[in-house]
Amino acid sequence: MSAESFVEGTIQVGTLPAIFFKVNEAVENPETSFTDLGRIISADSGLAARLLKVVNSPYYGFENTIETLGHAITLVGMAEVRDLVLATTVIRYFRGVAGESVDMSSFWLHSIACGIAARNIAVLRQEPGVERFYTAGLLHDIGRLVLFMNHPSEMKDALHHYEKGGLLVDAEREVLGADHAQVGAALLAKWKLPGRLAAAVGGHHAPDPETENFTDAAILHVADVLVHGLELGASGERFVPPLSASAWEAVGLDTDDLPALLARVEQQAAEMAQTFL
């Protein structure tokens, strides 16, 4: 089966709630003011409350309590607020959907930590638009939830195959004909999220130097491997995936920076998980 076939037809994953697309459209419009964006988000009282909780968390570390969405948006910026909306929306959307197959708290801790690691790596590299790397990390394993939701018997076979040794991602390809990274990319394309984001998610297990978005995929790949090594949550994979030499070289991390980077990831992941989970 092609990756696209896993997100087509009558499956449990349809489209993201309309509020995200309204927020995204507003952020992309240069004429949108902080007040305008705050008004759109306020239409969903639950979402507004969660965003204020996140902005007031230790992760951001503001000295004074942020009481209004307008103030929050002014402080963290429109692009980051959009990513927080996506994060809170997706986590709420998939809450508990995988049943007994996946520990969802552990799954989202791994995903949040991967996003934080990718963002920190992007900051070290002085990449433009570092917010997108947090989003990519948060969503990098979302295809696995789709597989567990809509193809539970095949995933049970994949897990049985995987228990004999090797990586779950390889078992997915053997049993289903596509892996969760490819399915995740297809889902993001269906949701009409940026192609660059979908490409990074789709390539995070095997970044291809010949592709246009290789650097994004390489950063996400390295972040995923580091977070697996830190054992921050889990998405079903019990082993640390092998590190791509070409990805590591492309990312160009200085090994002297690793201890401080890993310490930041652990601290920030714990702070963000307290808010989201």
The phi and psi torsions of 217 (rounded to 5 degrees) equal -65, -40
The pLDDT-based confidence of 10 (bands split at 50, 70, 90) is very low
For 96-125, letters b (16+ CB in 10 Å) and e give ebbeebbebeebbbbbbbbbbbbbbbbebe
The identity of residue 201, as a single letter, is V
The pLDDT-based confidence of 98 (bands split at 50, 70, 90) is low
Average pLDDT over residues 60-79: 90
Average pLDDT taken over every residue of the chain: 89
Average pLDDT over residues 231-247: 92
Architecture of the domain whose range is 3-276: Orthogonal Bundle (1.10)
For the ranges 4-13, 25-34, 167-176, which has the lowest average pLDDT?
4-13
Q: Does the pLDDT of residue 100 top 70, yes or no?
A: no
pLDDT value of position 112: 93
Domain coordinates of the chain in residue numbers?
3-276
Q: Does the pLDDT of residue 4 top 90, yes or no?
A: no
